[in-house]
């Protein structure tokens, strides 16, 4: 059985490690001030009353039991990005198998989202394009085989899975980021290549690999144009919160049994036109141009949609000195440090899938290196591996990694879990996270470079009815609000809060706190927009 109190010794070790890391960090960027993890206590306000210059009549009795007390500019709600990847390729996470009915697919989707919501996650990274196909209505690419069992075949009865997922996630106050593989055209689990496949439709863009996969040639302008069109089609037509790429650009060498990517013809064509870059630099330049292009096109269309990448967790062996492992720079031709240094992303999630004490790939050592490269102060929400097993050591490892991110990245806490599968497979892990790190809900950190405008304060109505307080609210720009936060306290107790979805406009609070004789004394409601900006709040005193 999971025992939370046993986490304390490793937390002390982590605290010592974080302190040591902080003292050794090279000062290359503007110093960041950490916000203290303090109890949710509102600062006391002392109001001095002026002496009256002449006698005043006694005040008339107030007809209401509720009075607005004071406006405060800040709130104590926790900020942390809490997400899980949901993979559709090979039916890893959803749907559980190809060919399920529409009703079965929807039931499975709701069950996954309910699980995340109940465990206080606030975002989902949903794979909508596993192999140049679509889990949504597209005129550019065929329906996915992982959805219906036949590439090009729509769900029956018809529905749009992406639209369904977006609506269901937003109903639960969760962000939905679409996850796309930019260049993979056919996966080895995708069956035979059919006439509906992009491999058949655009053979001049395709390269066959020895493991059965097909890859679009990243150096070709038409490849880049097509993938950019796919991305922007989703951005324009769907109410998504983010676009997400993983570490696949050029394929892993193992996919071609160690042989080099077969792009000799296109490289020779580049040289014939006067190109001078070495082959590796040429490949990286192609990917760099594409990443920059996607970021700029998304921002031109919908600035509030975040663009994130989860590169392989090691930039290059020796970065920093103790690190060993695959060289993504020369194998995937991904200059992941450059993209972060240039600010071509809104959040970065390097896949740090190793344990804290694994010296050659240490989680905190790698996280510290990526943070030193975060010169534009973008969100750094690392990908963490939660599939080490369901026993107590894995619970401790997972919770400890979450706590390390909080200590090392205090201004924008967060992580993405690979994947939702182990959370379901290992109840001890999901329960352990919920009972410790994710005990309270959290808002997604704001993105001030996208939008710094603060919403107006909601108009709140409250009424005491017997043993409960009914709270409701309205807002004159509700269509731009994504979440609401209801704050409340009982007598001299600490402030508590509830995070609600955009469609929830009322809540009931007990008049008397359970287990205590304390009576509800103060409430407030704030509005949070799509970029995470939270309104001021009006504290209301219950009289």
Mean pLDDT of 140-166: 97
- Render pLDDT for 279-289 as a digit per residue (tens, 0 to 9): 999 999 999 99
- Determine the pLDDT at residue 311: 98
Secondary element (H or E) of residue 83 = strand 81-86
DSSP 3-state of 379: strand
- Determine the pLDDT at residue 516: 85
Helix then strand then coil, in percent of the chain rounded to 5, is 30, 20, 45
CA angle 92-94-99, nearest 5°? 105
- Determine the pLDDT at residue 420: 98
More confident residue, 450 or 75: 450
Secondary element (H or E) of residue 506 = strand 506-510
What the block records as the tokens of 459 is 């108009």
- Chain-wide mean pLDDT for the chain? 89
| pLDDT bucket at 543, cuts 50 / 70 / 90 | confident
- The answer on pLDDT for 17 being more than 80 is no
Backbone angles phi, psi at 470, to 5 degrees: -90, 125
- The answer on pLDDT for 32 being more than 60 is no
Residue 122 · residue 133 · CB < 8 Å: no
- Report the candidate in 64, 3, 11 with the shortest Cα–Cα distance to residue 397: 11
| pLDDT bucket at 6, cuts 50 / 70 / 90 | very low
| pLDDT bucket at 64, cuts 50 / 70 / 90 | very low
- Render pLDDT for 213-230 as a digit per residue (tens, 0 to 9): 999 999 999 999 999 999
- Render pLDDT for 65-112 as a digit per residue (tens, 0 to 9): 555 655 654 558 999 999 999 999 999 999 999 999 999 999 999 999
d(CA 520, CA 73) in angstroms, rounded, equals: 22
- Determine the pLDDT at residue 11: 46
- Determine the pLDDT at residue 13: 44
The residues facing 540 across adjacent strands are: 68, 523
Half-sphere exposure of 458 (CA within 13 A, CB side): 32
Mean pLDDT of 350-368: 98
| pLDDT bucket at 477, cuts 50 / 70 / 90 | very high
What the block records as the tokens of 451 is 């939008």
- How many angstroms from the chain centroid is the CA of residue 338? 22
| pLDDT bucket at 42, cuts 50 / 70 / 90 | very low
More confident residue, 19 or 137: 137
- Render pLDDT for 315-325 as a digit per residue (tens, 0 to 9): 999 999 999 99
> What's the CATH code, domain 81-435?
3.20.20.80
- Render pLDDT for 387-401 as a digit per residue (tens, 0 to 9): 999 999 999 999 999
- The answer on pLDDT for 259 being more than 50 is yes
DSSP 3-state of 5: helix
- The answer on pLDDT for 38 being more than 50 is no
DSSP 3-state of 52: coil
Residues 6+ apart with CB under 8 A from 524: 72, 75, 460, 486, 487, 488, 537, 538, 539, 540
- The answer on pLDDT for 349 being more than 60 is yes
Mean pLDDT of 26-55: 35
Domain boundaries along the sequence of the chain? 66-75+451-542, 81-435
CA angle 378-382-384, nearest 5°? 170
d(CA 135, CA 522) in angstroms, rounded, equals: 46
Architecture of domain 66-75+451-542: Sandwich (2.60)
More confident residue, 217 or 17: 217
More confident residue, 6 or 426: 426
Q: How far is CA 290 from CA 198, 223, 231, 384, in A?
A: 20, 10, 12, 26
325: left (phi over 0), alpha (psi -120 to 50) or beta: left
What the block records as the tokens of 189 is 């689990």
- Render pLDDT for 267-281 as a digit per residue (tens, 0 to 9): 999 999 999 999 999
Mean pLDDT of 463-489: 95
What the block records as the tokens of 228 is 């950019």
């Amino acid at each position: 059985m999971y025992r939370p109190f046993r986490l304390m010794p490793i937390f002390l070790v982590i605290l010592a490690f974080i302190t040591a890391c902080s003292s050794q960090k090279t000062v290359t960027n503007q110093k960041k001030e950490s916000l203290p993890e303090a109890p949710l206590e509102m600062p006391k306000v002392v109001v001095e009353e002026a002496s009256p210059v002449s006698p005043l009549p006694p005040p008339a009795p107030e007809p209401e039991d509720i009075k607005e007390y004071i406006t405060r500019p800040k709130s104590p709600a926790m900020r942390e990005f809490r997400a899980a990847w949901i993979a559709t390729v090979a039916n890893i996470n959803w749907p559980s198998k190809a060919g399920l009915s529409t009703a079965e697919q929807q039931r499975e989707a709701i069950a996954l989202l309910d699980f995340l919501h109940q465990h206080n996650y606030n975002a989902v990274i949903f794979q909508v394009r596993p192999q140049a196909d679509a889990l949504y209505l597209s005129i550019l690419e065929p329906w996915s085989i992982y959805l219906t069992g036949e590439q090009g075949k729509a769900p029956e009865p018809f529905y749009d899975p992406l639209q369904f997922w977006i609506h269901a996630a937003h109903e639960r106050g969760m962000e939905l980021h679409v996850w796309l593989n930019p260049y993979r055209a056919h996966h080895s689990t995708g069956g035979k290549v059919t006439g509906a496949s992009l491999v058949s439709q655009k053979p001049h863009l395709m390269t066959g690999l020895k493991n059965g996969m097909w890859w679009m040639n990243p150096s070709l302008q038409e490849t880049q144009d097509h993938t950019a069109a796919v991305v922007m089609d989703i951005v324009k037509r769907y109410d998504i919160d983010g676009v997400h790429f993983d570490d696949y650009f050029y394929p892993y060498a193992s996919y071609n049994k160690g042989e080099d990517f077969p792009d000799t013809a296109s490289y020779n064509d580049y040289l014939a036109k006067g190109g001078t870059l070495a082959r590796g630099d040429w490949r990286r330049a192609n990917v760099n141009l594409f990443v920059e292009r996607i970021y700029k096109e998304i921002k031109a269309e919908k600035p509030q949609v975040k663009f994130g990448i989860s590169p392989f967790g090691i930039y290059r062996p020796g970065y920093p000195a103790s690190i060993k492992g695959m060289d993504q720079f020369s194998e995937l031709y991904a200059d992941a440090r450059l993209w972060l240094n240039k600010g071509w992303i809104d959040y970065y999630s390097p896949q740090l899938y190793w344990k804290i004490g694994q010296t050659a790939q240490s989680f905190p050592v790698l996280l510290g290196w990526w943070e030193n490269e975060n010169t534009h102060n973008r969100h750094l929400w690392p990908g963490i591996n939660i599939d080490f097993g369901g026993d107590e050591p894995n619970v401790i490892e997972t919770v400890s990694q979450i706590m390390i991110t909080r200590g090392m990245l205090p201004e924008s806490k967060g992580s993405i879990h690979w994947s939702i599968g182990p959370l379901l497979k290992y109840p001890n892990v999901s329960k352990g996270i919920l009972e410790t790190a994710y005990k309270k809900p959290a808002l997604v950190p704001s993105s001030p470079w996208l939008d710094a405008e603060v919403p107006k304060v909601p108009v709140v109505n409250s009424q005491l009815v017997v043993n409960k307080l009914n709270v409701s609210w309205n807002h004159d720009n509700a269509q731009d609000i994504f979440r609401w936060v209801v704050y409340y306290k009982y007598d001299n107790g600490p402030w508590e809060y509830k995070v609600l979805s955009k469609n929830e406009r009322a809540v009931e609070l007990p008049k008397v706190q359970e287990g205590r004789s304390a009576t509800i004394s103060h409430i407030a409601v704030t509005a949070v927009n799509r970029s995470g900006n939270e309104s001021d709040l009006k504290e209301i005193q219950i009289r």
